[in-house]
Amino acid sequence: MESTASVSDLDFSTLPQSLRLLAARGLARSYSRGTVLIEEGSQGDCLYLVLSGSLRVYGCDVRGREVTYGIYGTGEYVGEMSLDGGLRSASVITEEASRCVMLTRASLLAHIANHPEFAFELLTKVIRRARAATLSTKQLALNDVYGRLRALLENSSVAGDEILLTHQAMAHRLGCSREMVSKLVKDLEQGGYLTRIANGRYQRLRALPIRW
């Protein structure tokens, strides 16, 4: 489900200065949780700039198994990889109710013509994501599932070592089954490394072992 609003009615103060003028060139839309904005393999020439909420970028195989490439929130944008005219390399879905500005390739080119420095910012963003994808591929190739889970849990901890990811979210990020994640998490609970707290979240009690 989605609804459209005039960009003139929106407050862009939450965005970095470099993105405010760009946002004014697009079409603002609100989406409910679970809305697919981009489908892998489809043709498209627009990107989405997040004003509020969060988007998950993911891919899936013929059996429907998913792997998450990243979660993006306010001030981030997704869909830039298709601006070369190629097919979409990943799918994008709203993780929660979100508001985005949809920008076409034409509007982006017009913005770059007026603000050529933004081309370097866009290039930097693409390079950083390519580096992140390279690291993720390396981890998938060289680590076993537990090694990837350990790295994910350490990177996902907030104050008090609280883990905010569900089993399914972990599975999507690791490229494995939910059942595998559940087994490993249960083992870590029994080993005294994790404990379950409210709303299905976990708290890390001590440093996780390097091997399991």
Q: Is pLDDT at 144 greater than 90 in this prediction?
A: no
* Distance from chain centroid for Cα 206: 28
Q: How confident is the model at residue 24 (pLDDT cuts 50, 70, 90)?
A: very high
Q: How confident is the model at residue 33 (pLDDT cuts 50, 70, 90)?
A: very high
Give the mean pLDDT of 71-84. Answer: 87
Give the mean pLDDT of 105-126. Answer: 91
Question: Average per-residue pLDDT in the chain?
Answer: 84
Give 79-110 pLDDT, tens digit per residue.
987 777 788 889 999 999 999 999 999 999 99
Q: Is pLDDT at 65 greater than 70 in this prediction?
A: yes
Decide if 94 contacts 55 (C-beta within 8 A): yes
Q: Is pLDDT at 133 greater than 90 in this prediction?
A: no
Q: Which residues contact 177 (CB under 8 A, 6 or more apart)?
A: 65, 171
Amino acid 93: pLDDT = 96
Q: Determine the Cα–Cα distance for residues 98 and 51; give it in Å rounded to an integer.
A: 8
Amino acid 112: pLDDT = 92
Say how many residues make up the chain.
212
Domains plus CATH for the chain?
2-141 (2.60.120.10), 144-204 (1.10.10.10)
Decide if 174 contacts 149 (C-beta within 8 A): yes
Give the mean pLDDT of 26-41. Answer: 94
Lowest pLDDT segment from 43-57, 104-118, 169-183 = 169-183
Decide if 49 contacts 24 (C-beta within 8 A): no
Give the mean pLDDT of 141-169. Answer: 76
